[in-house]
């Protein structure tokens, strides 16, 4: 078995969940995977070397990575994206070849598939039909950033937290995914707040019976109560 075949066999579920490369046939994947290799990063690994992402492109195979920025003066931190299995980075470096001043931190033990940027650009040049996937993916990222900026400007902390919770509820299990075990500090970084403020709002949601809290675990008890509270917050803004 070649290295490409090994990666395809081992990470087929990851590859099928990657929107950026949707509709690739097995033969096309094998051609592309010939340039990939595996990397493992430990939990709490921080990647602050911006040069690193000029030369390699990554697909997350398992675990969560936060993409964040820090204000140089206040040292305040804000999480731009919470990346999971099937997500990729750094798309901006791939598209424009310019150093991207963001940071990454592993929230779990991570496995990624890495490919040199020049190999991926060469593959795209030979397979231009897949540029449409990259345009669509870029559009999705821009819409997400647009919504996040609007929330930071126009919505209060309570509204932002409610939307964060509701947006991350799995429709099948009716429970939180991706953020369910994050400490309050990390939740605060996602909505532009502080740990103490987030804790206060979570305690209020616990009191009204919509969630339960146990050791950095948030469990949804009643989605309808969360929706009603969000409606009330929106009405109060009018």
Looking at every residue in the chain, the average pLDDT score rounds to 90
Provide CB contacts within 8 A for 143, sequence distance 6+.
none
* Nearest of 16, 19, 8, 236 to residue 133 by alpha carbon: 19
- The highest-level CATH class for domain 155-237 is mainly alpha
pLDDT confidence of residue 228: 92
Angle between helices 157-167 and 223-237 (to 10 degrees): 140
Residue 39 and residue 107: Cα distance in Å, rounded?
Answer: 16
Alpha carbon of residue 165 to chain centroid: 15
Residue 118 and residue 98: Cα distance in Å, rounded?
Answer: 13
**Is residue 160 a contact partner of residue 191, using CB atoms and an 8 Å limit?**
yes
pLDDT confidence of residue 96: 84
Instruction: Indicate if the pLDDT at residue 111 is higher than 70.
Output: yes
Provide CB contacts within 8 A for 138, sequence distance 6+.
91, 95
Question: b/e map of 168-196 (b: 16 or more CB within 10 Å)?
Answer: bbeeeeeebeebbebebebbbbbbbbeee
Q: Where are the domains of the chain?
A: 3-140, 155-237
Instruction: Indicate if the pLDDT at residue 218 is higher than 70.
Output: yes
- The highest-level CATH class for domain 3-140 is mainly beta
Residue 221 and residue 187: Cα distance in Å, rounded?
Answer: 19
Query: Each residue of 119-148: pLDDT tens digit?
Result: 999 999 998 888 888 888 899 999 999 999
Instruction: Indicate if the pLDDT at residue 235 is higher than 80.
Output: no
pLDDT confidence of residue 238: 59
Question: CA torsion sign, 106 to 108 to 109 to 110?
Answer: negative
Residue 29 and residue 40: Cα distance in Å, rounded?
Answer: 21
Mean pLDDT, range 13-36, rounded to an integer: 90
Query: Each residue of 162-210: pLDDT tens digit?
Result: 999 999 999 888 889 999 999 999 999 999 999 999 999 999 999 999 9
Helix (H) or strand (E) holding 146: helix 131-154
Phi, psi of 115 (to 5 degrees): -135, 140
Alpha carbon of residue 105 to chain centroid: 11
pLDDT confidence of residue 192: 93
DSSP state of 128: G
Are 3-140 and 155-237 equal in CATH topology?
Answer: no
**What's the start-to-end Cα distance of the chain, in Å?**
63
């Amino acid at each position: 078995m070649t290295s490409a075949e090994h990666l395809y066999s081992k990470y087929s579920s990851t590859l099928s969940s990657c929107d950026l490369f949707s509709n690739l046939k097995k033969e096309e994947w094998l051609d592309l995977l010939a340039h990939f290799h595996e990397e493992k990063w430990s939990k709490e690994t921080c990647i602050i070397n911006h040069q690193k992402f000029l030369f390699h492109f990554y697909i997350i195979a398992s675990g969560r990575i936060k993409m964040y920025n820090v204000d140089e003066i206040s040292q305040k931190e804000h999480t731009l994206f919470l990346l999971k299995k099937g997500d990729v980075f750094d798309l901006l470096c791939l598209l424009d070849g310019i150093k991207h001043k963001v940071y990454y931190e592993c929230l779990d033990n991570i496995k990624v598939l890495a490919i040199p940027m020049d190999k991926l650009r060469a593959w795209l040049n030979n397979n231009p039909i897949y540029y449409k996937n990259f345009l669509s993916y870029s559009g999705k990222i821009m819409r997400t950033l647009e919504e996040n900026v609007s929330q930071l400007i126009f919505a209060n902390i309570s509204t932002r937290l409610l939307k964060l919770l509701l947006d991350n509820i799995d429709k099948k299990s009716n429970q939180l995914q991706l953020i369910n075990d994050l400490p309050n500090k990390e939740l605060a970084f996602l909505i532009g707040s502080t740990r103490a403020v987030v804790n206060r709002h979570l305690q209020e949601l616990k009191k009204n019976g919509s969630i339960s809290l146990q050791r950095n675990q948030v469990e949804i008890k009643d989605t309808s109560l969360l929706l009603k509270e969000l409606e009330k917050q929106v009405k109060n803004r009018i």
